[in-house]
Amino acid sequence: MFVDKAKIYVASGKGGNGAVSFRREKFVPKGGPDGGDGGRGGSIIIEATSSMNTLTDFRYHKHFKAKSGENGKSSNMTGKSGEDLIIYVPVGTLVKVDGKYVADLNEIGKRVVVAKGGKGGRGNSHFATATRQAPTIAENGEAGEEHWVELELKLLADVGLIGLPNAGKSSLISSMTNAHPKVADYPFTTLVPVLGKVDMGFGKSYILVDIPGIIEGAHEGMGLGDEFLKHAQRTRVIAHIIDASREEPLRDYEIVREEMKLYDSSFEDRPEVIVFNKIDLISAEKLEEMMEKFKGKKVHAVSALTRVGLEELKKKLYEELQNAPEIEFKFEEKNETHEVKEGENSRPIFVEEKDGVFFVKGREVEKLMAKYRIGYRDAFNLFMKKLNDMGLEKLLKKANVKEGDTVVIGDMEFEYKE
């Protein structure tokens, strides 16, 4: 089965906690602090590989979690960092995080970090000062990131074979390459894109992709719809295959061209070669008449069945590729600084009064509570100092706090004193 879309859940590892530890040393209070730092949490990385050609693996395996960093140890020993988790995807995979494109993995080995591991917390050896020689302060490790990630595969090929159903695209790619698609005399024989390599000799080659048949309304999802038109976006040259035995080949051509334009206007500027297939079924006079209708365009007449004109077509497509521009998929770069949504916690710190109780809340308050182990006296004093540096006292007075009122910070309650 060909699967070209997948959605996975990724969670990077938490950073390890810093350690509170003291070494034994004469004339040094409590022996001196020697608590080591916590290790970094493992990140989630997505990398392109040539060993895969579908996203089928992600139909059943959707959750990925990296390991957390180890806690710091005594003797200033840093905890072991969590191992990064690498998720392999086919070359040509687009990656979306939180609805935004963050990477186009269009080369083997190209990678993107979709969830960064949490930073390890600092141990108490970092907090020693002249007046605080035996600090009981250490930081907790930062939490990892969690995201739903969307994967979308757009096949990478040099030439895309486009046309109505039964135009003979599958027969052509089978005759020109090493691909073996299903060939039959009914619509939509090709249900998935098929890749094949055209070997020109002397180390020269290029890749063809057989795009499933396009019908009127395809850009809106009719027939096999826009599910496969997107694969044509990654091709540098379009080979428009037309069944020469049909009554109105020009009309057939216009239908497909219109659908491509409606799906993506950039198709109008893409280099194009028109290929009349099945010429073994028509007379020389009819072929000449059709050629006249397409005057001014690059036209080739072939028969996939009898192999007439195939070598010339291979060479012509190769020549077109030499001058065709590279296709670059443009996307919005990921903004590493996450936007804070509007709401009560969008402010760094604020005070909210309810039934005579004053609640201290805010974005920075939550961060500090997660960072410090405020069960230790030194850590608690540092925590309160940072809140006061952010203007806690002024905010409480502005909220009309009075002597003896209850102030709540997280799960801690205090009696306010001037």
Question: Has residue 336 been placed in a domain?
Answer: no
Q: Which two tokens stand for residue 70?
A: 């180890």
For 217-231, 268-282, 383-397, which range has the lowest pLDDT when averaged over its residues? 217-231
Question: Has residue 370 been placed in a domain?
Answer: yes
Q: Residue 308: left if φ>0, alpha if ψ -120 to 50, beta else—which one?
A: beta
Q: What is the mean pLDDT of residues 27-48?
A: 87
Token look-up 């040539």 returns 50
In this predicted model, which residue has the larger pLDDT, 130 or 388?
Answer: 388
Average pLDDT of every residue of the chain: 84
pLDDT score at 150: 95
Find the CATH number of the domain harbouring 130.
2.70.210.12
**Domain limits at 146?**
5-153
Find the CATH number of the domain harbouring 368.
3.30.300.350
Question: Has residue 316 been placed in a domain?
Answer: yes
Q: Residue 65: left if φ>0, alpha if ψ -120 to 50, beta else—which one?
A: beta
Q: Do 86 and 227 fall into the same domain?
A: no
Q: Which amino acid is at 412?
A: M
pLDDT score at 202: 83
Quick one: which of 124, 122, 127 has its CA closest to 142?
Answer: 122
Q: Do 276 and 389 fall into the same domain?
A: no
Q: Do 304 and 350 fall into the same domain?
A: no
pLDDT tens digits for range 394-415:
999 899 999 889 999 988 888 8
Question: Has residue 339 been placed in a domain?
Answer: no
Q: Do 149 and 182 fall into the same domain?
A: no
- Extended beta strands in 168-233, E state: 194-201, 204-210
In this predicted model, which residue has the larger pLDDT, 202 or 329?
Answer: 202
Question: Has residue 333 been placed in a domain?
Answer: no
Question: Has residue 304 been placed in a domain?
Answer: yes
Q: Do 379 and 230 fall into the same domain?
A: no
pLDDT tens digits for range 109-156:
999 999 999 999 999 999 988 888 888 899 999 999 999 999 988 777
Q: Do 43 and 175 fall into the same domain?
A: no
pLDDT score at 376: 84
State the total domains in the chain. 3
Starting from the edge strand earliest in sequence, which strands make up the sheet with 272-277, in order?
194-201, 204-210, 159-162, 237-243, 272-277, 299-301
The answer, yes or no, to whether residue 221 has pLDDT greater than 80, is no
Q: Do 210 and 317 fall into the same domain?
A: yes
Question: Has residue 32 been placed in a domain?
Answer: yes
pLDDT tens digits for range 13-28:
999 999 999 887 676 6
Q: Do 134 and 16 fall into the same domain?
A: yes
Find the CATH number of the domain harbouring 227.
3.40.50.300
pLDDT score at 389: 92
pLDDT tens digits for range 83-110:
999 999 988 899 999 888 899 898 899 9
- Say if residues 118 and 158 touch (Cβ distance below 8 Å): no
pLDDT score at 163: 86
Q: Do 128 and 199 fall into the same domain?
A: no
- Say if residues 159 and 317 touch (Cβ distance below 8 Å): yes
pLDDT tens digits for range 294-342:
988 999 999 999 999 999 999 999 999 998 887 766 555 444 434 444 4
The last residue of a domain, from among 153, 184, 219:
153
- Say if residues 143 and 122 touch (Cβ distance below 8 Å): no
The last residue of a domain, from among 153, 188, 207:
153
The last residue of a domain, from among 153, 188, 221:
153
Q: Do 302 and 348 fall into the same domain?
A: no
Q: Do 316 and 211 fall into the same domain?
A: yes
Q: Do 58 and 174 fall into the same domain?
A: no
Q: How confident is the model at residue 276 (pLDDT cuts 50, 70, 90)?
A: very high
Question: Has residue 171 been placed in a domain?
Answer: yes
Residue 139: partners with Cβ closer than 8 Å, 6 or more residues away: 17, 18, 38, 121, 122, 371, 372
Percent of the chain with pLDDT over 70: 85
Distance CA 84, CA 100 (A): 23
